[in-house]
Structure 1
Amino acid sequence: MIFNLNIQSTLEALLSQEDTDGDKKITIEDQGPKSFMLNSTNGESYEVKGTYFLSNLLQELVLALDTKEEIAEISIHNIEEAPTQRISRMIRENYWNGLTRTMDEKGIQELLSDTKNESLEAESLLRVYVPQKDVLALDYYMRLKHSMPLEVIQLPKKITPEYVKKLNNKPGILSLKLSEKDDEIKGEPFVVPGGRFNEMYGWDSYFESIGLLIDGRVDLALGMANNFQYEIEYYGKILNANRSYYLTRTQPPFYSSLIVEIFEKTKDKNWLQSHLQTAIKEYETVWMVKGKRLTENGLNRYLAEGIGKPPEAEEGHFHHEIAQYAKEANMSVEAYEKAYAKGKIENPGLDNYFVHDRSVRESGHDTSYRLEGICADLNVVELNAFLYKYETDFADIIQNEFDNSFIVGEKEYTSSYWLKKASERKEKVNSLLWNEAKGMYFDYNFKTQKQTNFVSATVFTPLWAKMASKEQTKKVITNALPLLKEKGGIASCTKESRGEISKERPQKQWDYPNGWAPHQMMIWRGLQQYGYEIELQELVYRWLYMITKNAVDYNGTIPEKYDVVSATHKVFAEYGNVGTEFEYITKEGFGWMNASYQLGLSLLDSKYISQLNELTTPETIFK
């Protein structure tokens, strides 16, 4: 049924009646009558009842405003669409487009209004940093600055931590891949997480690509991979994100997984060959350099280079750590922090703290008490699982697509070479990270030569990488799943491991009670690969129930993270919850949360999807 409505007047009447708290959304917290009569221009009427349907009506009216027509068609079908169908459709048809960016003229327009840009001489100006060897980009941005408020800065050949620290007072965006075709230069597209995260992030990009590939957006997944390749070639690593202050920091490695999954769709062997060469280069130069991210025991760690405090941290974020030193120096925390940042105060203890803090951010788990103050001393479970998958991915690709011989530079690689690497890593993981008595994997502190005993959702990553034996998998599921399973899915860690929270020891966002999309997605794949279908269905349902229920009750909200214990998006932790602040309609959702929804629906049995649409609680189904 289609209704022709006067969009503006209907919208005003709806908000006046139903948006009683004035936040330009219709949620369960509004106290309106929860019933609104639509009156079409031809005299027909239709009653819309209930928070979910009223919020859908609000969203459809706002979308209709984009037509610029006074009278527009509104579909009753869309208003009364089943929750799972609507959320999935909005992701597929709207959110991915809303999150897509490019580093060409069109994309620069959006970046100019980014909240991270500083005002310079009362004018909004964007700094663009360009690699020394990218002549095309340098010429393009230099020409662009004549018509746009840009400052274009060419990076030196060698980028040192000292140089990057100097850029902290002149932050800017790092160029990504540009291509010239038919005398037109266009930027390779990428998908941003959303909200204030308006740049291309490392591991976010992989998990977003899972959803993109499910939704048929191979073009965007390809763009992410091509930008990964650009970053490795020009910046030496896949960056935490393409901002100047991330130049010394990488992210969890998922490049091999991304190229494998894209190749499954495209079957473009020339593309695969090019990206495999780059992925091997990243493996060798970023991860396998002794004394850096490769430790003496043969396993890996995160080790972000850099000097001093991470500049992207919010004001006051480190006050709890700096306070003790400021008190000893008889200074205010603010004064001590400024003096330390300028190098007027030397503090080896604080220097060491920030080595670990930057490494936590490189791990993607920023921040967590699992890694606080010790991250650079840990062989973490997930990183070694990720690199094991690199090694087995390389072996499979070379065996199946390149007749067991692949040349990079002057070196020939075979499948057996990579399988030997993988076997050696697995043996070391089993020796140092596996705890037979507890039947779980734990991070290993190579300084103290002890396991950490911190129960984290990352305990499941060896299942995702197919590194665990059947016996180990059974023990992990038996022992870890009951500890981490909550109403809305898997928690980042146990409450016991997190410890008590206080003013002096604040909540960290990657700890209990919060849950995150990448953890869920890897756990689902792990369970699927080892044949644990019952557990898979339950965990997928719990996660999708939480997302669906919050979207139904809160005007379509899909945020960065959730409190999985209470199954709510109302998270109380550092940085807030990106994706919850919008008016009328979210046009982005949140990158990897969108992807987790699409992946979850693709895995969930149809009988559970029906119950999900009815918002049947997980406790009712899985007793």
Structure 2
Amino acid sequence: MTLKVIEAYVHMAFRLGALAPAFPSSVVYCAANCAETSAGCEKSLLAVVQRLRIFADSKHFVDLPLLPGRIPERIIEYWDAEFGRRVVEEPLAGPGEATSGLREAEREPPVPTFRLARVEGPDTDFEEVRRFLLEHFDYAPGGDLLAWIPRDLPQLELDPEPGTTATGSPPLLHQIWRWMKAQDVDAGNWLMDMVARWRKLGRETSPMVFREPERFSLLPLKHPFIVAGGRFRECYYWDTYFIVRGLLVCGMWETARCCVENLLDLVEQFGFVPNGARIYYLNRTQPPLLSDMVRCIAEHAHAGWDVMTFLGRALPLLEREYSFMMEQRTVKMRAGGTLNRYHAPAAEGPRPESFYEDSKLASDCSMELLGDPRRSELFIALTAAAESGWDFSSRWLRDRRSMCSIRTQLIIPVCFNSFMLRMERNLAFLYRWYISGSRPETEKGSIFEQRLPGNEEVPNDPVTRDLLDRVQQRVSTMQKYLYVPSRDQWIDYDLEADTTTLQTVADWRQTVSSSNFFPLWSGILEHIESEQAASIARGVLQSFEESGLLQNGGVVATLVTDSGQQWDYPNAWPPVQLLLHEAFASLATQFSANEQISNRARELSLQIAIRFLRSVYQGWLRSGDLFEKYHAEKVGESGNGGEYVPQVGFGWTIGVSLALLSSVWQLDRSLLAQVWQRVSDEAT
């Protein structure tokens, strides 16, 4: 099958009939509401297994490999023959129950419910389905991946003599470790433990997946990689960026390069990077951070490594990803300009890895009937929210509380457009590097400063010129639609109301989100005239300081307290901490000549890093674990909420913590010393 045909299947629709020729195992793992089986949609293997809750975690089943010799299409035939005829739908009102006295024609059509025909009692069907799974599936997930130990893992415990470097230990990391160990033994052990966890999180694709891909839901990757941990046992898109940042602090450039090469391979195969390396993730992507990863690999390359060859391969693939985003995820704004949104138009049913949760939500929201158009919109909105990485948040909810009001695809998010601005800037920078044959010394003064209003000097190559024009257009459009001067924040835009969400909620505090400040990380103020940029910077700094987002344990995702969603209060997520730390640090650098702005921005960047590191460290002292997310108020405690239990591991927590440690070490290591002592005392 040609690459174009595969892309057509993926982009045009995500349904069993489209994916089956390219991925035979999709008939087992991805059949949702459009299963082409004789048993019918609601009687498909996926639907029955998930709705009977054979496994507590819906992701468990779709990650199970088929046993050797099993053929996906035959599995479905066996299922239909054995169970299809015995799966029934019945009205809510059973025989002899009240029918409200209405004539048959006047009553509302019965809402279908699901059950297997009873044979020998209430537990029979559960056990019979479990027996079927045991006959055809490897009952434990993870057999498609093998443990892998990075060869470039640093050995901090070797403790080299002054003036020497231990094998594999980069000087900076070793200096930080030795200093931390001298301040507090536990602090040194914490750093050593984080670095050692790369060993536990290393994976490579099992050779069986390459030989018999039809038995697996895994998308095989040629290179080894680092996983997040817990239920997230495969490679994920935006997790990988934060993992790569931590690997580079450890000097593990080769491992980081392998992670990035895998993502480039996925773009080469599909035209975009899927949410994760599973076939059921092929109907969505995630925040586009690949250009940042490519730039990190190029900038940290070993001496003598052929950067030009790497860029020569990577840049056309980054362009393909950019084209996908601009063709599949854009909205032309009514008054001019184009912005991006998260969307999943091919999501025709519940997410396979969350089939039970999505189906139950549809039922709870009275959207259970297959023909209900609201049901399709619900599943598109849920999948689009998963694409955002913020699954789930009040940002996507019309009423800020109920998941029944989710409408992600109708929101123009500040975060997505910040990532796209960053991507356009990175492409301009990388193309300038590739065309000139040498890395531009700095961004300011090399290409970006030349495009400020009133400065007519431009690079002489048309590719860079075009990209810089795109940057300027996006900056103008973001300022026009997303920036709200009265609040000194960038705020999500509601396409239905044709205004920012500030105008669609009763309490403006419900629109305050950490993502409102992401444009600073993207460098938006570098493309605005200096006096106006300084005015915006002062307002944004005050707005953040007064927002209530910065808590004792880091920056909380949003101020919404009663949604129950994990990307709302009180959770502090590692990616948010690193992006905002770097946002304010870069602001301090940009306005270095303005002492007031620079000092305030630098202090905020340090406080974000210190408070979050403090929480991660204290949590480790208490539990020995690293959490996926943290409680912003209760220092050292895991975050909560969401559709799965809190996970430990954890790839991006390690990556972000190492990146923050490295940054603060270089900015103000004396501040770290005070924090270790304070945290140690509190933990005791």
Deviations 1:280-306 (A, max 9, x none): 11101x1111xx311112100111232
Alignment of structure 1 residues 540-619 onto 2, 5 Å: 540-554=609-623, 556-580=624-648, 589-604=649-664, 605-616=668-679
Cα pair distance change 1:78/1:384, threshold 3 Å = closer
1:299 corresponding residue in structure 2: 339
| Distance change (3 Å), C-alpha of 1:279 and 1:607 | same
| 1:174 paired to 2:219 | yes
Q: What is the Cα deviation at residue 606 of structure 1?
A: 1.7
Once residues 320 and 281 of structure 1 are traced to their aligned partners in structure 2, the CA distance between those partners, rounded to angstroms, is 35
Q: Judging changes above 3 Å, is the alpha-carbon distance between structure 1 residues 482 and 317 closer, same or farther for their aligned structure 2 residues?
A: farther
Pairing 1:217–2:252 present: yes
For residues 308 and 617 of structure 1, the distance between their equivalents in structure 2, rounded to whole angstroms, comes to 49
Give the structure 2 partner of residue 349 of structure 1.
374
Is 1:546–1:567's contact at 8 Å kept on the other side of the alignment? yes
**Paired residue for 2:556?**
491
Q: Give the TM-score taking structure 1 as reference length.
A: 0.66
- Encode CA deviations 1:218-251: one digit per residue, 9 max, x unaligned: 1121111111111111122101001111011111
- Distance apart, 1:477 and its partner CA: 2.0
Q: Is the 8 A contact 1:218 1:262 kept in 2?
A: yes
Q: Which AA in structure 2 matches 1:482? A: E
CA contact (8 A) 1:559 1:593 kept: yes
Find the counterpart in structure 1 of residue 446 from structure 2: none
Contact 1:83 1:548 in 2 (8 A): no
Aligned-partner SS, 2:417: helix
Contact 2:561 / 2:569 at 8 angstroms: preserved in 1?
Answer: no
Cα distance in structure 1, aligned partners of 2:410 and 2:561: 20
CA RMSD of aligned residues (A): 2.6
Q: 1:325 aligns to what SS in structure 2?
A: coil
Match for 2:351: what amino acid?
Answer: P
Q: 1:9-88 residue pairs with structure 2 within 5 A?
A: 82-88=185-191
Q: CA deviation at 1:499?
A: 5.2
Mapped contact 2:350–2:358 kept (Cα < 8 A)? no
CA apart distance, 1:439: 0.6
What is residue 433 of structure 1 aligned with on the other side? 482
Q: 1:401 to 1:351 in 2, by over 3 A?
A: same
2:321 equivalent to 1:282 = yes
CA drift at 1:618: 12
Partner of 2:174: none
1:311 correspondence with 2:352: yes
Name the SS for the 2:557 alignment partner: coil
Distance 1:471 1:260 in 2: 31
Instruction: Give the paired residue count.
Output: 434
Q: CA 1:575 to 1:171, structure 2 compared with 1: closer, same or farther past 3 Å?
A: farther
| 1:80-137 deviation digits (Å, cap 9, x = unpaired) | 9623322221222x211211111143xx6xxxxxxxxxxxxxxxxxxx4xxxxxxxxx
User: CA shift at 1:571, angstroms?
Assistant: 3.0
Q: Does the C-alpha gap of structure 1 residues 171 and 374 become closer, same or farther in structure 2, counting only changes over 3 Å?
A: farther
Q: Is the 8 A contact 2:493 2:500 kept in 1?
A: yes
Q: What letter is aligned with 1:608?
A: L
**In 2, Cα distance between the equivalents of 1:351 and 1:260?**
39
Question: Does the Cα contact within 8 Å between 1:294 and 1:300 map onto a contact in 2?
Answer: yes
CA distance in 2, matches of 1:80, 1:288: 50
Query: Is the contact between residue 381 and residue 433 of structure 1 (CA under 8 Å) also seen in structure 2?
Result: yes
How far off is 1:550 after superposition?
A: 1.1
- Distance across 1 between alignment mates of 2:572 and 2:437: 41
Instruction: Output the amino acid matched with 1:557.
Output: D
* Contact map agreement 2:183 2:673 (CA 8 A) in 1: no
Relative to structure 1, is the Cα distance of residues 607 and 499 closer, same or farther in structure 2, using a 3 angstrom cutoff?
Answer: closer
1:362 aligns with 2:387: yes
Counterpart CA distance in 2 for 1:173 and 1:413 is: 40
- Which letter maps to 1:471? S
For structure 2, the 5+ residue unaligned runs are: 1-156, 158-179, 398-405, 439-460, 503-510, 526-532, 589-600
Partner of 1:232: 267
**Secondary structure of the structure 2 residue equivalent to 1:288:** helix
Shift of 1:315: 3.4
| Contact kept? 2:341, 2:413, Cα under 8 Å | yes
Match of 2:536 among 465, 472, 475: 472
Partner of 2:428: 395
In the alignment, the residues of structure 1 paired with residue 679 and residue 197 of structure 2 have an alpha-carbon distance, to the nearest angstrom, of: 26
In structure 1, distance between residues paired with 2:320 and 2:355: 34
Which residue pairs with 1:269 in the alignment? 308
Matches within 5 A, 1:505-544: 507-531=564-588, 532-544=601-613
Partner residue, 1:416: 465
Instruction: Give, in whole Å, the separation in 2 of the partners of 1:174 and 1:456.
Output: 34
CA drift at 1:252: 0.3
2:339 match: secondary structure: coil
**Structure 1 stretch 464-473 or stretch 204-213: which is displaced more?**
464-473
1:82-97 aligned at under 5 Å gives the runs 82-92=185-195, 94-97=196-199
Cα distance per residue 1:439-481 (max 9 Å; x no partner): 1100112232110131111112111110133332332221134
- Among all aligned residue pairs of Structure 1 and Structure 2, give the percentage whose two residues are the same amino acid: 26
**Retained in 2: the 8 A contact 1:367–1:509?**
yes
Cα distance in 1, alignment partners of residues 326 and 644 from structure 2: 36
Q: TM-score, normalised by structure 2?
A: 0.60
**Where does residue 96 of structure 2 map in the other structure?**
none
User: 3-state DSSP class of the match of 2:213?
Assistant: strand
- Match for residue 42 of structure 1? none
The residue number in structure 1 matching 2:213 is 152
| Amino acid corresponding to residue 356 of structure 1 in structure 2 | A
CA deviation string 1:461-516 (max 9, x = no partner): 1111101333323322211343211110100011xxx2534xxxxx0011111010
User: Are 1:368 and 1:510, in contact at CA under 8 Å, matched by a contact in 2?
Assistant: yes
Structure 1 residue 189: Cα displacement:
1.3
Among 510, 517, 523, the residue aligned to 1:460: 517
In structure 2, give the amino acid aligned to 1:607.
S
**Amino acid aligned to 2:386:** R
Secondary structure of 1:426's counterpart equals helix
Range that drifts further, 296-305 or 562-571:
562-571
Q: Deviations over 1:238-276 (max 9, x none)?
A: 010011110111110011111111101116221122111
Q: CA 1:540 to 1:224, structure 2 compared with 1: closer, same or farther past 3 Å? A: same
Separation in structure 2 between the aligned mates of residue 376 and residue 261 of structure 1, nearest angstrom: 31
How far did residue 602 of structure 1 move?
Answer: 1.0
Please list the CA deviations of residues 598-619 of structure 1 after superposition, one character each: whole Å capped at 9, or x if unmatched: 1111122222222222134999
Contact 2:203 2:227 in 1 (8 A): yes
User: 2 CA distance for matches of 1:551 and 1:322?
Assistant: 40
Tell me the amino acid that sits aligned with residue 299 of structure 1. L
Secondary structure at 1:299 match in 2: strand
Matched to 2:607, the amino acid is: E
The residue that corresponds to 2:43 in the other structure is none
Where does the alignment leave 5 or more consecutive residues of structure 1 unmatched? 1-59, 61-76, 109-127, 129-140, 143-150, 154-169, 178-187, 327-335, 406-411, 502-506, 581-588
Residues 252, 568 of structure 1: CA spacing in aligned structure 2 closer, same or farther, 3 A cutoff? same
Whether the 8 Å contact between 2:183 and 2:676 is mirrored in structure 1 is no
Q: 2:276: which partner in 1?
A: 241
User: What corresponds to 1:148 in structure 2?
Assistant: none
Deviation of the 1:318 alpha carbon: 5.2
| Contact 1:470 1:530 survives alignment (8 Å) | no
Query: Partner residue of 2:137?
Result: none
CA distance in 2, matches of 1:435, 1:558: 37
Describe how 1:324-343 pairs up with structure 2 within 5 A.
324-325=365-366, 336=368
Q: Is the 8 A contact 1:191 1:208 kept in 2?
A: yes
| Preserved CA contact (<8 Å) 2:275 2:285 | yes
Where does residue 500 of structure 1 map in the other structure? 562
Separation in 2 of the partners of 1:324 and 1:282?
35
